[in-house]
Amino acid sequence: MNDETPICSAKGCRTAAVWVLAWNNPKLHTPERRKTWLACDEHREHLTQFLGMRGFLKDVVALAEWERRAAAGE
Ligand SMILES: [Zn+2]
């Protein structure tokens, strides 16, 4: 593991992330804006529920797929 390794966003977790949770808070962000959290396998469900309960969650994408999309400019 090195500084380039994306780490899970869950509090206290130092596990390498494998998921990207894209979200938007309509009170703070314009509709097309996307904030992102990173999640390991263990915390994906917890973080998804946290955002989902608040109506913020937009997308859950595998990190590799997210990076592929970013590289493609999608
Ligand atoms: Zn985690």
pTM above 0.85, yes or no: yes
Give the three-class secondary structure for 69. Answer: helix
| pLDDT tens per residue, range 13-72 | 999 999 999 999 999 999 999 999 999 999 999 999 999 999 999 999 999 999 999 899
> Which residues, chain by chain, have CB under 5 Å from ion ligand 1?
8, 10, 13, 15, 40, 43
Q: Would you state the structure tokens that stand for residue 9, as one six-digit string?
A: 């966003």
Domain spans of the chain, in order of start: 19-72
**Ligand 1 centroid vs 2 CA: distance in angstroms?**
17
List helix spans (H) across the chain: 44-53, 63-72
